Structure 1
């Protein structure tokens, strides 16, 4: 009986002792981790808030709610050009780091989080981490983006622009009519118009068939584009966490019109791929000829439609808003275009100095991709001297680094009064301005369609000035607000003008 009592007594106290031991071990582990990440970690010499030294949760939270760029930009003002934003991740705001990270010797490899932009199990030209995988696909389609190819196919883009100008005139007339009838002008969502132009231009030029967005009152591909834009709020999550969250979202919280819009895009892309075997003239045909499977080719086409529609649509509509906001800039632009049109033949619009300045300034402030572009420091590490504070840093291999386009484009030491739309600044651009202007990224992994997007903007803005369609237009709101995800989301999906 005495033995049973002893065993019973020992068993009774075992859970409490075990719980205490586990709790003690947990506290010791957390304390050890805190000491290591704060004082002993290879990045402990890089300044940053304590919470960022200990956990990535601060960065992930601000990425999700859409103010990440603003918050990190403010931290740079406090801590300097190299900032620790997570236990093993740095943000750099000095443009001198662009070349070693993104361009020199091919640039550093993309961070694993880019796989979160894979589509239907396939890595895209944008999302793949493997340079060899990308090279096979990009080599097949790069000729379509050459200067010669763009000039040869510019009529297709001009046709789309002529159609969108007709939409602008019709929408402007309706806005004015509402003002005359009620005293309140009807707002026109130029973001919808800009996206419609962009999807038609990219599809007509690269796929050989226009999507037909300009003819739709509201772009049917918009919900599909918005769904992929929203992926950016989870961009920096580990892939397994991202897939779990995205799976729950798709099943239980689909976006409004998401399925119908995706079906519309699928219904456009599938016949293109099916009918393009052996075709050397189209994006899909060249990928098929390179041996890419039909299903992956469909994915690559959908990714291109998304990127082209979102980025160029945002850039074009933002330019419309700023030209309406500052009519003196619009009038100066109109005068330059009118003078150029008197020449025989008219010059290439990309050679016109003020139009070029307007486009560059528009791309600087619109920032379709405002956040950092993460890369992994190679095993040998990186020694970087930051001119902005005259200090040298050694970054160990395996560190994740990135430079925010937001911090470069809004750097007051490079772009005085950075939040103002001032095309004149580009008429006497400094070397630092040229270096830090990176709307399409930099190096071999920069946007593959940058030349096409640039041509669309030059031809589109020239048409706005040439036709005078923005005469009497007024920008709605004091500024364009966006969610600072990997692909910026315009709040409310609206950039509005009114005509009176």
Structure 2
């Protein structure tokens, strides 16, 4: 009896594998045969933090369409990105992966249109404070800058001051994603087991546990904030006070998405600018800033090019942006995809695969963004914050933070890599951010006028 059951189960399993490999609607798509029958290769690379490079290597081998799992396809073309993310009302819903980032039992989907001009003074204040410090700062400098700026944007005048307040710094450290990647993927793939284990361990500890959640919830519920803040705008659209958790959830989304991505993006970019190979870039940037001291950020084209190129080469979000093909299926870049299939693009590959748009794609060349020829194609493939109405809700805020800090730094300082900087600057992928593998970046600041040197460490 048991033998018969085992034989039947074996035949059933074999039939599933044969179907996935030879007869499934996705069977005709290129990709490793093992990926056609099991999700294990994808899962392994996710847990190991190598998904980004693994998928990029698959695209280099197989082209712009790759089957990376039995029910998942990765694309790397303008046509695919437009169809999946910007076709408007086409039914590509977010996959269950996004439930990892639900806060306070809410999953905010709206991308509110917000002007960032009113926050310029807040970030100018933060930028000058961080540049003016004349001591060696250990740990999290750029992440603290991002946190303090974002919380000012959300809750002014109740923002955090994480470099001067120990309690606020503790919130900064709690919000770090640096060690949570295996836990998050475990929760995604084994939710029932994760819930069981969470009763006896911290395996499923979330961002909403502890200091950060208390700060956001209490502020969303009780604080009196300025009319121009995000929290005030969210409150005005709520039906009643009991909906404060909805507002808190969206504010938590800003923190979760913005701190690591902005801080890490600045870290990689400032390290790149401090290398000898980028000396001419740094000098050209400084010339633009010094010659136009009162110019609006949008009127500084080379600063914009430097930030865009930094985000292109060092995309701070390593993950793909998974969507689910709608019922009835869709044609994506000439390929018919059945409903229910997970489809996605990842920034790292979109920024590199088409060398007609991005020649020498691994090189840092801000000048490529200064030429009108090919501008439309470059912008279509620029995917650092995803695209479309459900892209990154903090895109404009991140650009503002990065531009303001770079303006403050390179108007007055030259930077170079510190002589004792030995830590690896390879990108170490977390779930929604990439950090330096060595968890440290040492840069020497030399004041342009008097030669003052300041060493800044960011980890």
TM-score (norm 2): 0.85
Per the alignment, in what secondary structure is the counterpart of residue 270 of structure 2? helix
Q: Does 1:245 align with 2:211?
A: no
Equivalence for 1:8: none
The structure whose Rg is larger is 1
Say if 1:95 and 1:436, in contact at 8 Å, map to a contact too: yes
Q: State the alpha-carbon separation in 1 of the partners of residues 94 and 217 from structure 2.
A: 30
Q: For each residue in 1:295-338, what CA deviation from the matched residue of structure 2 results, as whole angstroms up to 9, or x when unmatched?
A: 34333323322222111111112221111113332122111111
Q: State the alpha-carbon separation in 2 of the partners of residues 320 and 412 from structure 1.
A: 26
Offset of residue 251 of structure 1: 4.8
Per the alignment, in what secondary structure is the counterpart of residue 26 of structure 1? helix
Equivalence for 1:309: 259
Equivalence for 1:334: 286
Say if 1:221 and 1:262, in contact at 8 Å, map to a contact too: no
Equivalence for 2:329: 381
Offset of residue 277 of structure 1: 6.7
1:217-236 → structure 2 map (5 Å cutoff): 219-227=169-177, 231-233=180-182
Q: State the alpha-carbon separation in 1 of the partners of residues 389 and 213 from structure 2.
A: 29
Offset of residue 86 of structure 1: 0.9
Offset of residue 272 of structure 1: 1.9
Equivalence for 1:34: 17
1:110 equivalent among 90, 94, 106: 94
Say if 1:410 and 1:418, in contact at 8 Å, map to a contact too: yes
Q: Does 1:433 align with 2:378?
A: yes
Say if 1:76 and 1:93, in contact at 8 Å, map to a contact too: yes
Equivalence for 1:11: none
Q: Structure 1: give runs of 5+ residues left out of the alignment.
A: 1-17, 126-133, 172-187, 386-391
1:398-413 → structure 2 map (5 Å cutoff): 398-411=340-353, 413=355
Offset of residue 152 of structure 1: 2.8
Q: State the alpha-carbon separation in 1 of the partners of residues 430 and 353 from structure 2.
A: 17
Greater helix proportion:
1
Q: State the alpha-carbon separation in 2 of the partners of residues 295 and 408 from structure 1.
A: 36
Per the alignment, in what secondary structure is the counterpart of residue 67 of structure 2? strand
1:197-212 → structure 2 map (5 Å cutoff): 197-208=145-156, 209-212=158-161
Offset of residue 203 of structure 1: 1.1
Q: For each residue in 1:374-428, what CA deviation from the matched residue of structure 2 results, as whole angstroms up to 9, or x when unmatched?
A: 111112322234xxxxxx3211122110011111123261322222222122222
Offset of residue 490 of structure 1: 3.7
Equivalence for 1:157: 123
Say if 1:207 and 1:283, in contact at 8 Å, map to a contact too: yes
Q: Does 1:170 align with 2:153?
A: no
Per the alignment, in what secondary structure is the counterpart of residue 303 of structure 2? helix
Offset of residue 45 of structure 1: 1.0
2:388 equivalent among 438, 443, 463: 443
1:23-422 → structure 2 map (5 Å cutoff): 23-107=6-90, 108-123=92-107, 125=108, 134-135=109-110, 138-139=111-112, 142=113, 145-146=114-115, 150-167=116-133, 169-171=134-136, 192-208=140-156, 209-216=158-165, 219-227=169-177, 231-233=180-182, 239=188, 241-242=190-191, 244-245=193-194, 248=197, 251-252=200-201, 263-276=210-223, 280-289=227-236, 290-291=238-239, 293-325=243-275, 326-341=278-293, 346-385=294-333, 392-411=334-353, 413=355, 414-422=357-365
Q: For each residue in 1:322-367, what CA deviation from the matched residue of structure 2 results, as whole angstroms up to 9, or x when unmatched?
A: 11113332122111111112xxxx2212222221111111111221
Q: For each residue in 1:197-242, what CA deviation from the matched residue of structure 2 results, as whole angstroms up to 9, or x when unmatched?
A: 1111111122112210132589323332224x65555666785723
Distance 1:226-1:193 versus aligned 2 partners, 3 A rule: same
Q: State the alpha-carbon separation in 2 of the partners of residues 283 and 247 from structure 1.
A: 36
TM-score (norm 1): 0.79
Say if 2:104 and 2:208, in contact at 8 Å, map to a contact too: no
Q: Structure 2: give runs of 5+ residues left out of the alignment.
A: 446-452, 454-459
Say if 1:482 and 1:490, in contact at 8 Å, map to a contact too: yes
Q: State the alpha-carbon separation in 2 of the partners of residues 221 and 492 from structure 1.
A: 22
Distance 1:63-1:472 versus aligned 2 partners, 3 A rule: closer
Say if 2:264 and 2:433, in contact at 8 Å, map to a contact too: no
User: C-alpha root-mean-square deviation of aligned residues, in Å?
Assistant: 2.9
Q: State the alpha-carbon separation in 2 of the partners of residues 301 and 243 from structure 1.
A: 28
